[in-house]
Structure 1
Amino acid sequence: MSLINTTVKPFKAQAYQTGKFFEVTEQTLKGKWSVFFFYPADFTFVCPTELEDLAEHHAEFQKIGCDIYGISTDTHFAHKAWADTSPAIAKVKYALIGDPTGQITRNFDVMIEEEGLALRGTFVINPEGVIKLCEIHDNGIGRDARELLRKVKAAQYIAAHPGEVCPAKWEEGAATLKPSLDLVGKI
């Protein structure tokens, strides 16, 4: 079953962000767009490249009212230690959620049970807590923050413009489509 258009299941976890620990729940997400960015583990290889890429685009996500949450099955203490020792992770200003029990990772169907690690799962969640985008990658395939930003903007656009859809490679300000009988077979 797809997670698209389902509500984020209840959870409670500890997060690390810019020198502070704090609690995050599904209620924390209400009222803003959010990205849940699952990755296998701290102190690995592809993960820091992805988190650094997101860090370099974080201000753009903030500008469109979207919070980013990096999530792995590590603890929030491990996230702090990683930020303290890795130049790439030191750039991260968004929250890193610790999920050592795997509850959140299982809620989003990205747990690799035999390893206790997450797949590379990306989820865009609307301000009502409903999942609007779900992508899951093999752990050897890194993601691109610019493409994710484009997809968040598209999700925000269609939420604000019912009846319109964003075609392939849509960029903010570009033409959209209004599905109708008259459009069938003309694209």
Structure 2
Amino acid sequence: MLTVSQKLPAFNLKGVVSLEHGKEFHDIKSENYQGKWLVLFFWPMDFTFVCPTEIAGFGKRYQDFKDRDCEVLGISTDTEYVHLAWRKQHPDLKDLPFTMVADTKRELSQALGVLHPEEGVALRATFIVDPNGVIRHVGVNDLSVGRSVDEVMRILDALQTDELCPCNWVKGQPTLEV
């Protein structure tokens, strides 16, 4: 698995960006995120139980990420058509403000090393990438355990200080002096 201090691999994937007919899909390219913070979060499969709770959680906090000059991409190995069908069907996903990315060929999942060895789907992995394309945080959960969006936000805040942040530090608290 790629980890902290390594470069995010280049990618060019399809994503669902809208429910409006004729405007549903876009090419999602890594080069479009240069110079910005980026959170990539992977989930195993659409039309499941834990996944929509996480996706909706990121959706509810999306403006907080944008306020930090950070883009969010949600990714699974399902196709863009499955993503679209799920968004249309699931009430918590209809107004999703970020792109649902289709890693159908598993290119990005494999490059990052987040494919479950037996199931062949993405693990619940989260990557925070800095504006230079360097991975600054990686977190991976078992398929059955959802992640904490608040913790992802806390880590992003800490990384953006570029200072030493103690255990359980939250934005607004003092950082450590050396």
TM-score (norm 2): 0.93
Supply the AA of the counterpart residue of 1:66: C
Q: CA deviation at 1:9?
A: 1.1
SS at match of 1:92: coil
Aligned to 1:166: 165
SS of match in other structure, 2:41 = strand
Counterpart of 1:175 in structure 2: which amino acid? P
* Residue 6 of structure 1: aligned partner: 6
Structure 1: which 4+ aligned runs deviate by more than 4 Å?
none
Do structure 1's residue 74 and structure 2's residue 91 form an aligned pair? no
Gaps of 5+ in 2: none
| C-alpha displacement of 1:143 | 1.1
How far did 1:51 drift? 0.5
2:7 touches 2:134 (CA, 8 Å); kept in 1? yes
Cα drift, residue 177 of structure 1: 1.2
State the partner residue of 2:139: 135
**Distance in 2, Cα, partners of 1:114 & 1:137:** 15
Q: Which of 109, 126, 134 matches 2:113?
A: 109
Taking the aligned partners of 1:178 and 1:107, their CA distance within structure 2 comes to: 38
Look at both structures and tell me which one has the larger radius of gyration over its CA atoms. 1
Identify the residue that residue 157 of structure 2 maps to in structure 1: 153
Residue 43 of structure 1 and its aligned partner are, at CA, apart by 0.4
Which position in structure 1 is the counterpart of 2:128? 124
2:41 to 37, 47, 57: 37
Number of aligned residue pairs: 174
2:27 partner letter: E
Stretch moving more, 83-92 or 37-46: 83-92
Does 2:19 correspond to 1:15?
Answer: no
CA distance in 2 between counterparts of 1:51 and 1:96 reads 9
Secondary structure of 1:122 counterpart: strand
Greater share of residues in helix: 1
Contact 1:52/1:91 (<8 A) preserved = no
User: Residue 55 of structure 2 aligns with which residue?
Assistant: 51
TM-score of the aligned structures, taking structure 1 as reference length: 0.89
Q: Kindly, what percent of the aligned residue pairs are identical? A: 34
Q: 1:172 Cα shift?
A: 1.2
Task: Please name the residue that 1:183 is paired with.
Answer: none
